[in-house]
């Protein structure tokens, strides 16, 4: 019996040590878990902030693209008008073989050609100086 009592006395500290170690391990694991939770929370907040920033940038870019699209449409109409005006200027101008004393167009002549006219109205006159 004394041998059994000695074994029990020797095992009890070992059991207490293992229980304390297990409790210490649980505490360490809980601390690590709390740290991971805080990291994930911070990471989620940073992700949300970055996502909001990206959405704002996208909206800004969409606005700019829409504005540029409308400007392209507006410029397209102006370019077509200018092409027509240039064609009129060339058509109304004198050519080397027909007009020896060619001169540059005057500002008045250019204004005359570029004035807004009715679509069906044609102008084929050139003031020669």
What phi, psi does 99 have (nearest 5°)?
Answer: -140, 105
Give the number of domains in the chain. 1
Half-sphere exposure of 58 (CA within 13 A, CB side): 6
Digit-coded pLDDT (tens) for 88-115: 777 666 655 666 666 666 778 777 777 7
31 domain-assigned? yes
In a domain, 42, yes or no: yes
Give the per-residue pLDDT at 60: 96
pLDDT digits (tens, 9 = 90+) for 63-95: 999 999 999 988 988 888 888 788 777 766 665
Report which secondary-structure segment, H or E, holds 12.
Answer: helix 2-92
**Residue-wise pLDDT tens digits, 24-61:** 788 888 899 999 999 999 999 999 999 999 999 999 99
Cβ–Cβ < 8 Å for 95, 128: no
In a domain, 22, yes or no: yes
Measured CA to CA in angstroms, residue 44 lies from 27, 40, 50, 124 at distances of: 25, 6, 10, 72
Cβ contact 113:92 at 8 Å = yes
Look at residue 87 and tell me if it is in a domain.
Answer: yes
State the residue range of the domain holding 74. Answer: 2-91
């Amino acid at each position: 019996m004394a041998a059994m009592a000695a074994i029990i006395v020797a095992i009890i500290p070992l059991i207490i040590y293992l229980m304390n170690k297990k409790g210490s391990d649980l505490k360490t694991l809980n601390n690590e878990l709390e740290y991971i939770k805080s990291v994930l929370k911070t990471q989620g907040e940073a992700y949300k902030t970055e996502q909001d920033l990206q959405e704002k940038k996208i909206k800004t870019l969409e606005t700019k693209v829409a504005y540029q699209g409308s400007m392209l449409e507006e410029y397209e109409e102006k370019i077509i008008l200018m092409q027509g005006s240039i064609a009129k200027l060339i058509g109304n101008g004198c050519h080397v073989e027909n007009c020896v004393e060619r001169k540059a167009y005057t500002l008045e002549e250019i204004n005359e050609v570029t004035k807004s006219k009715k679509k069906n109205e044609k102008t084929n006159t050139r003031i020669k100086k």
